[in-house]
Amino acid sequence: MQRRSFLKSGLASGALVTVAGALSTPAVSQDRREWRLTHAYPKGYPIFGEAPQLIADYVKRASDGRLTIQVFGAGEIVPAFEAMDATESGTTEMGYGTSYFWAGKEPALKFITGMPFGLTAQEQNGWFAAGGREICQKVYDRLGVKFFVAGNSGAQMGGWFNREIDSLNDFSGLKMRIPGLGGEVIKAVGATVVNLPGGELLPAMQTGTINALEWIGPYSDLAFGFHQVAKYYYYPGWQEPSGIFDLFVNRQAWEGLPDDLKAMIETASVAANAFVLDQLAARHPAALRTLVDDHGVELRRFSDDTLTGLAKASGEVINDMASQDALSRELLDSILSFRENATAFTGVAEQAVLQARSLDYAYPKAGGG
Amino acid sequence: MQRRSFLKSGLASGALVTVAGALSTPAVSQDRREWRLTHAYPKGYPIFGEAPQLIADYVKRASDGRLTIQVFGAGEIVPAFEAMDATESGTTEMGYGTSYFWAGKEPALKFITGMPFGLTAQEQNGWFAAGGREICQKVYDRLGVKFFVAGNSGAQMGGWFNREIDSLNDFSGLKMRIPGLGGEVIKAVGATVVNLPGGELLPAMQTGTINALEWIGPYSDLAFGFHQVAKYYYYPGWQEPSGIFDLFVNRQAWEGLPDDLKAMIETASVAANAFVLDQLAARHPAALRTLVDDHGVELRRFSDDTLTGLAKASGEVINDMASQDALSRELLDSILSFRENATAFTGVAEQAVLQARSLDYAYPKAGGG
């Protein structure tokens, strides 16, 4: 028995070493891929810089190192808004950001990130599952990349202002950082839009290049320190009831992957999508408390009149923009069809239970109080 | 060139075949694992039966067949509510269901699925990311299984009733299927609770074993045909603003996995968690319309008085139950601490934007109308 297993193991390791010795160099290099990903956020920026790293870490671990992805922040290979160019051209195999950053390439991209008075995160994920994903891929096909949903901001805040906004008229004269469709709506009601990457917003507020901004929500906004340069924090984030982040892969690089690595990237993007929303849901609540209790930030709600005016302007802007090209129209119609039933369902589900939870009743506190 | 590459490929395939021939049986069986998963839903039941299959399909694909998981529905190996027993004992390596199904084993499990007037899906995922996962694992450690969040119902409906519910008094005399903490609350206001697996509910309504039930929401409820046996469909689902589904793995089986397969299961559970919520968000809206427009179902909202009464009873029941053991108290306190800040943040984010979206304004319809 002993001799037999010794022989067997000797045969095994010896033979394998020989074969591996003869073949190792080409086989290993053929089977190991080193990719690069460039994203649109400062290197290591909490959550949005971490999400692409999560994808890289997971793929490396699940593939046992057969696919490694080196993650670069804005400015390391290309500037923030050129992540799509780099991926289209094959400078990097992958990129990460959000679709309105490259809407100059294809107008329909503006409708993918999110829409004023549009879908919530849960509804948007539902729309993707109900066929939205395929329509989005049609848009990204024009850029030569494979598209994955890989992050969602959830409901955002309305933004930071130096003065109170009492009516729609108060938007007149604002110089506001507010990208995407929200920016188009703000223009329609008299404001000027100045779009800058996140890392440039604090100095822009300090120098007066802008005098209002919206970024994401309490945790992300606290990290940038916007409470140092603006007093009023408005809600709700009518401009983005949710906002998605995309992972995109150079088409040729994607086609060259074996199926197991494709499966890993597909599933890693789902995990990144959850990661962003979960981490924000984990951190926003305490950050909101810090902003209000420790930094004296004043929370303000836009009035119903202001919101109704913004909603009307949003509808007009969206409809006009979609009418300019067929793909935008197809995409918008798909979102609007879904939105009609989704608002009815959310009205009796999420929205109704949140309203019920807000009623006046005694409920226990931590510690049994 | 030709001869050289022929020799090379000959060496490669010939040598590998020989080595593989000598070693194949033990090597392959060592590296290939065949696992079984038993879940608590009818075989192939939409979404909840599909989620564990999604995990199995993904792991097979990403591992290139090194780990295959055969998925069994309720009753194929063990009945619905014995999936945990089967996994604890190692009859199956994995199981899938929801924690209150096995709350008889450990009282704290009742607080994991969801809580009346508790967290929404997004908040619950936030709580898991903020340390909730580790506390849940402490509970599951007592059962000897590794725990993964692997599904979420989102906000549920209030349930199906044969008569109108105008006040808290109308719960008296009801025989209702409503599991978990919601069931405890209903008992406190005078109803009788009869818990049955989903597949037994329709006949139970027909025979009068129960005269009210809550299951999940429009899509799942339509699939079971509850509109055939009840006229009124109440909202909101105060008893479960969200409800999670768990994947659990026998501890010894888990410890025996190499790291890459562990990574695949971890990430597959995140994908399953998203899959359930996304698919429900995709399908509930159209199903609600079908129930109302095609089947004449009458939607009814519980009155504020009824909801306030249920909320008060919920708080008392939860607090009493948690005071009975230390682990329940620890778990509940963690949820309650998170809930306090989360309700404030959701109030200015998701809830505020849903309220804004519900205002009266013109918004485009599909087709440009």
- Which residue in the set A332, A338, A352 is minimally distant from B301, CB to CB? A352
Share of chain B above pLDDT 70, in %: 91
Which of B149, B259, B345 best probes binding to A when mutated, by most A CB atoms within 10 angstroms? B345
| CA A352/CA A332 separation, integer angstroms | 27
- Which residue in the set B155, B307, B340 is minimally distant from A359, CB to CB? B307
| CA B122/CA B102 separation, integer angstroms | 24
State how far residue A78 is from chain B, nearest Cα, in angstroms: 30
ipTM over 0.85: yes
Intra-chain end-to-end CA distance of chain B, in Å: 67
Tell me how crowded residue A11 is: count the other CB atoms within 10 A of its CB.
Answer: 14
Whether B117 and A357 lie within 8 Å, measured CB to CB: yes
Which chain A residues touch B333 with a CB distance below 8 Å?
366-368
- Which residue in the set B155, B344, B362 is minimally distant from A312, CB to CB? B362
Q: Would an 8 Å CB–CB cutoff place B364 in contact with chain A?
A: yes
CB A67 within 8 A of CB A33: yes
| CA B267/CA A267 separation, integer angstroms | 7
State how far residue A241 is from chain B, nearest Cα, in angstroms: 6
Whether B64 and A346 lie within 8 Å, measured CB to CB: no
Rounded to the nearest integer, the mean pLDDT of chain B is 91
Q: Could you give the domains of chain B?
A: 159-239+298-333 (3.40.190.10)
Whether B348 and A157 lie within 8 Å, measured CB to CB: yes
pLDDT score recorded for residue B11 = 33
- Sequence-distant (6+) residues with CB within 8 A of A210 are A175, A176, A177, A194, A196, A201, A204
Summarize pLDDT for B42-85 with one digit per residue, the tens.
898 899 999 999 999 999 999 999 999 999 999 999 999 999 99
State how far residue B204 is from chain A, nearest Cα, in angstroms: 26
Which chain B residues touch A126 with a CB distance below 8 Å?
278-285
Whether B62 and A263 lie within 8 Å, measured CB to CB: yes
pLDDT score recorded for residue B196 = 87
Tell me how crowded residue B131 is: count the other CB atoms within 10 A of its CB.
Answer: 13
The secondary structure element, H or E, covering residue A96 is strand A94-97
State how far residue B214 is from chain A, nearest Cα, in angstroms: 13
Model-level pTM? 0.91
Q: Of residues B27 and A92, which shows the higher confidence score? A: A92
Task: Kindly identify which residue of chain B lies nearest to residue A364, measuring between CA atoms.
Answer: B315
Which chain B residues touch A119 with a CB distance below 8 Å?
none
Give mean pLDDT, residues B26-40: 79
State how far residue B75 is from chain A, nearest Cα, in angstroms: 30
Helices assigned H by DSSP within chain A: 2-31, 50-62, 83-89, 110-113, 121-127, 133-141, 180-188, 201-207, 218-224, 251-255, 259-289, 304-322, 326-348, 350-357
β partners of residue A39:
A96
Q: Would an 8 Å CB–CB cutoff place B63 in contact with chain A?
A: yes
| CA B323/CA B111 separation, integer angstroms | 12
Residue B191 pLDDT > 50: yes
| CA A123/CA A107 separation, integer angstroms | 23
Task: Kindly identify which residue of chain A lies nearest to residue B237, measuring between CA atoms.
Answer: A353
Beta pairing, strands B94-97 & B33-39: parallel
Share of chain B above pLDDT 90, in %: 86
Which residues 75-134 in chain A show a CB within 8 A of chain B?
117, 120-123, 125-130
Q: Would an 8 Å CB–CB cutoff place B341 in contact with chain A?
A: yes
Which chain B residues touch A5 with a CB distance below 8 Å?
none
What does the buried/exposed string (b/e) look like for A114-142 if buried means 16 or more CB atoms within 10 Å of the residue's CB? bbbbbbbbbbbbbbbbbebeebbeebbee
pLDDT score recorded for residue B26 = 35
- Which residue in the set A217, A312, A367 is minimally distant from B349, CB to CB? A217
ω into B236 cis (within 30 of 0): yes
Burial of B60 (0-12, 13-18, 19+ CB in 10 A): middle
- Which residue in the set B117, B308, B354 is minimally distant from A351, CB to CB? B354
The 3-class secondary structure across chain B, one letter per residue, is CHHHHHHHHHHHHHHHHHHHHHHHHHHHHHHCEEEEEEECCCCCCCCCCHHHHHHHHHHHHHCCCCEEEEEECCCCCCCHHHHHHHHHHCCCCEEEECHHHHCCCCHHHHHHHCCCCCCCHHHHHHHHHHHHHHHHHHHHHCCCEEEEEEEECCCCCCEEECCCCCCHHHHCCCEEECCHHHHHHHHHCCCEECCCCHHHHHHHHHHCCCCEECCCCHHHHHHHCHHHCCCEEEECCCCCCCCEEEEEEEHHHHHCCCHHHHHHHHHHHHHHHHHHHHHHHHHHHHHHHHHHHHCCCEEEECCHHHHHHHHHHHHHHHHHHHCCCHHHHHHHHHHHHHHHHHHHHHHHCHHHHHHHHCCCCCCCCCCCC
Q: Would an 8 Å CB–CB cutoff place B361 in contact with chain A?
A: yes
Summarize pLDDT for A230-278 with one digit per residue, the tens.
999 999 999 999 999 999 999 999 999 999 999 999 999 999 999 999 9
Confidence of residue B167 (pLDDT cuts 50, 70, 90): very high
The secondary structure element, H or E, covering residue A33 is strand A33-39
| CA B97/CA A32 separation, integer angstroms | 38
Q: Of A101, A125, A99, A210, which Cα lies nearest the Cα of A159?
A: A210
Q: Would an 8 Å CB–CB cutoff place A270 in contact with chain B?
A: yes
Q: Would an 8 Å CB–CB cutoff place A19 in contact with chain B?
A: yes
Task: Kindly identify which residue of chain A lies nearest to residue B338, measuring between CA atoms.
Answer: A285
State how far residue A108 is from chain B, nearest Cα, in angstroms: 15
Angle between helices A50-62 and B259-289 (to 10 degrees): 120
All residue ranges of chain A with pLDDT < 50 are 1-28
Which chain A residues touch B121 with a CB distance below 8 Å?
122
Which chain A residues touch B215 with a CB distance below 8 Å?
none
Could you give phi then psi for residue A106, rounded to 5 degrees?
Answer: -160, 110
CB B72 within 8 A of CB B36: yes
CB A100 within 8 A of CB A113: yes
Which two three-digit tokens encode residue A103?
């809407």
Burial of B344 (0-12, 13-18, 19+ CB in 10 A): middle
Which chain A residues touch B344 with a CB distance below 8 Å?
285, 288-289
| CA A367/CA A350 separation, integer angstroms | 28
Query: Helix, strand, or coil here: A181?
Result: helix
CB A277 within 8 A of CB A122: no
Could you give phi then psi for residue B186, rounded to 5 degrees?
Answer: -60, -40
Q: Would an 8 Å CB–CB cutoff place B221 in contact with chain A?
A: no
Which chain A residues touch B338 with a CB distance below 8 Å?
285
Summarize pLDDT for B103-142 with one digit per residue, the tens.
999 999 999 999 999 999 999 999 999 999 999 999 999 9
Strand order in the sheet with A145-152: A67-72, A33-39, A94-97, A244-250, A145-152
State how far residue A208 is from chain B, nearest Cα, in angstroms: 28
- Sequence-distant (6+) residues with CB within 8 A of A146 are A137, A140, A248, A249, A250, A251, A254
